[in-house]
Copies of this chain bind each other. A is one copy, B any other.
Amino acid sequence: MSAAPSEARPAPLTAVFAALGDDTRWQILVRLGAEPASASALSTEFPISRQALAKQLEVLRGAGLVEAERHGRELRYRAIGAALGEAARRLERVASGWDERLAAIKAAAEAAAPAEAGAERHRE
């Protein structure tokens, strides 16, 4: 069933953000965005152990933010910019409707109590 060439799973939005929400992981991701690297190579640049790096890389991979490629005996990770862009697009899409809708609601609320904008009474 896993005939997908790379990562075809959309990975739930919250999972992606959870992956992005860790400082260490974010730094790793940015680093990989500059240039692919293996866990061992990263361990020389980061203050944490190689195994810790490997775990975080696995999390990022699970979120679809990086992909791994074998080069001989080393696993080289690279950031997937498209995944980040996709998350950004989804985020913006969710956000787009809010301000408009909420402004309408706010206006309606103020129209219902024009003399008490900001501290309307519930008497009606």
Contact of A3 with B by CB under 8 A: no
Contact of A2 with B by CB under 8 A: no
Could you say how many copies of this chain the assembly holds?
2
Beta-carbon contact of B23 and A21 below 8 Å: no
Chain B nearest CB, measured from A59 CB (Å)? 11
Contact of A62 with B by CB under 8 A: no
Q: Quick one: closest B residue to A94, CB to CB?
A: B84
Q: Mark A34-58, 1 if CB is under 8 A from B, else 0.
A: 1110000000000000000000000
Beta-carbon contact of B36 and A105 below 8 Å: yes
Beta-carbon contact of B101 and A34 below 8 Å: yes
Given known contacts A22-B18, A89-B88, A95 and B119 CB-to-CB distance under 8 angstroms: no
